[in-house]
A = this chain, B = another copy of it.
Amino acid sequence: MTTRIGVIGAGVMGAGHALMLSSQIAGCQVTAIADADEARARSVAQKLGDARTFSNAHALIHNDEVDAIVVASPDPTHHPLVLECLRLGKPVLCEKPLAVTSRECLEIVEAEMSAGKRLVQVGFMRRFDPGYEAMKSAIDDRRHGLPLFLHCIHRNAVAASYTTSEAIILNTAVHELDAARYLLGEEFVNATARSSRATSAAPGRRPQFLLLETASGVLVDIEAFVDAQYGYDVRAELVCETGAMSLAQTHAIQTYGAGTIGKSLYGDWMGRFDDAYRRELQAWVTAIRMGGHVGASAWDGYASTLTAELCLDAFKSQRMVRIDMDSRPAFYD
Residue positions of A touching B, CB distance < 8 A: 1-2, 21-28, 49, 129-131, 133-135, 144-146, 148-149, 151, 153, 192, 194-197, 199-201, 207, 209, 211, 213, 216-219, 221, 223, 225, 227-231, 233, 239, 241-265, 267, 275, 282, 286
Contact = CB atoms under 8 A, between A and B. Distances in A.
A221 B237 CA distance: 14
B241 A248 contact: no
In the A-B complex, the 9 residue pairs with the smallest Cβ-Cβ separation, listed nearest first, are A262-B262, A197-B217, A243-B257, A131-B252, A130-B252, A244-B256, A148-B196, A260-B262, A134-B253
A199 to B, nearest CB: 4
Contact of A252 (B231, B233, B247): B247
B248 A252 contact: yes
A200 B200 CA distance: 44
B230 A259 contact: yes
A18 to B, nearest CB: 12
Nearest to A267: B259
A209 to B, nearest CB: 5
A259 B272 CA distance: 13
Contacts of A225: 148-149, 239
A216 B197 contact: yes
Contacts of A228: 239, 242, 244
A243 B201 CA distance: 13
Contacts of A22: 26
Contacts of A194: 192, 211, 213, 219
Contacts of A1: 49
A256 B230 contact: yes
A241 to B, nearest CB: 4
Contact of A200 (B195, B241, B257): B241
A99 B153 CA distance: 36
A26 B30 CA distance: 11
B244 A255 contact: yes
A203 to B, nearest CB: 11
6 contacts: A2-B2, A130-B252, A245-B254, A245-B256, A247-B252, A247-B254
A145 to B, nearest CB: 7
A218 B197 contact: yes
Residue among A22, A28, A218, A230 with max Cβ neighbours from chain B (10 Å): A230
Given A243-B256, A255-B243, A265-B256, A148 B199 contact: yes
Nearest to A131: B252
A201 B241 contact: yes
Nearest to A148: B196
Contacts of A26: 21-26, 28
Given A145-B200, A241-B201, A253 B247 contact: yes
Contacts of A218: 196-197
A253 B217 contact: no
Contact of A248 (B130, B211, B239, B251): B251
A269 to B, nearest CB: 15
